Structure 1
């Protein structure tokens, strides 16, 4: 039951992650860097500190006693994750949302899941335990389902271009593919960042943090991501002279833009909050949390797209590919759940 509860928490977190980009569509007269920095401040800086303060007993004592090397490792890996997130956003401009998601999330799913036990030298030992075959099946199905989602998404983009009789002039594999690869590899390091921050969480557990223990790790992992995001956004603001957008009034719906940025940040942070609650319940195969989260993220993102009627112009071939992708993704989650339950 603990594993099933963990998977359910991962599902809640992934659903928040799938919806976190929707408020961006309502933002008006803000450049990308203004909106991105505003929501990043909420998600990667403010909320990790506030939630940790609310959920970690004797937080300052925990931070004083936590190992410094774990703090720095978690912070550094978080910085790499921030670079990966920026690369992801740039890749979408050249590869489209669907292909970027398929390639980047597929890579992140595999590397982010297998890296922690591999670095510890435990991968082969873990793969010999009961239920390991289900974990392998779930991983394979997950990558296959993500690839099918990317294929269906690309079909949808082509269908839309055909219906509008216009081509996407910005599409470029040469420019987009390296960014997708970079985003996939660096984004995977977030899961590794959580793993490396476990000694900090262990101190929090000693002071009664319980299942909220991961919240203290986010102070370092998310702040690292915020630092790299801040540097890049400030660079763009200086280059394009857009600092004034934060305070410019007139015809700009400034208050609404801030509201949408806050909602985005809260939704994005919510995935981390529920990821932590799910992660501590996964038992011997705790490292599969990242795979479950990534697979569900793609699954719920696709379902959200259907609900928002993004597939209304899709042809029968596209819908068939989409249905197959959803079935495979559900099967992947079930296989990973079975594997974790057997080990538990």
Structure 2
């Protein structure tokens, strides 16, 4: 009897397991029967241009003040980082909390649905506007420096000490500068025939001057790199840590206190009235009503701070600070040909054209 009881219980459990409903999340896409799409929410892409400056002391840096009257010339190599540009750009990302199904009705013509790769609705019965691609930062090519030792004459290279080499190099620099001044004044022994030749000679003398002077002043190499950060606020927040920048190590981890903190604040400007709860309840009851859901975006203010100093403030439309509205399915009745374009960043209606059939 006990065995029979356990067999009945097991059969009942198996039957219950098989009867359970399998739930799956909406997957965006277009089929012959309809389409599942997302509305976007607005993220902010932050592009930082960080410049790295590497200083290398010259071979004669210890004699810079004595022979060239150059003060505060460091004799130690160092590296420094600084931000030279910050750009904020709004971008659209799929909002998984705003997934909707559009069933094609034979009485309508809303069958040509264009979706982005992540499932955002872009257009209906129209070709979507091409999203502007982000152009990556391309650093300029570095100009090749003239090698200073190739400009040293035999007397400099055969000098018995570094101090003597520095003294003779300084004399060579002063000779170059004197010849340049004579050219500018038109008093040189061999004057060029025209202005182009004069400019060429002056450029060569300037390069020689800079190359030999770098033996005293040292050299600075600058490299600029682009870093991209993305924030996608679901609501307002105040002074959230965005990143840290160290003058010695560049961008560092958020918990690395060697870097100066940069914060971001997002404010809801409340440009869209709050949702009426009763109207929202009615909308939920009409979840399967024929139509297209679109965003009515609000606006947000983004502020960047370096420590306590505000360095950048901008305002942008934001889908998540607005509401969702339903465009009636009557717009897509067969009596009309309706073309709909949505903003890929906010999900708002960019354009709506309705063509009546010609008789």
TM-score by length of 2: 0.23
Structure with higher Rg: it is: 2
User: Which structure is higher in RCO with an 8 Å CA cutoff and minimum separation 6?
Assistant: 1
More helix by share: 1
TM-score by length of 1: 0.24
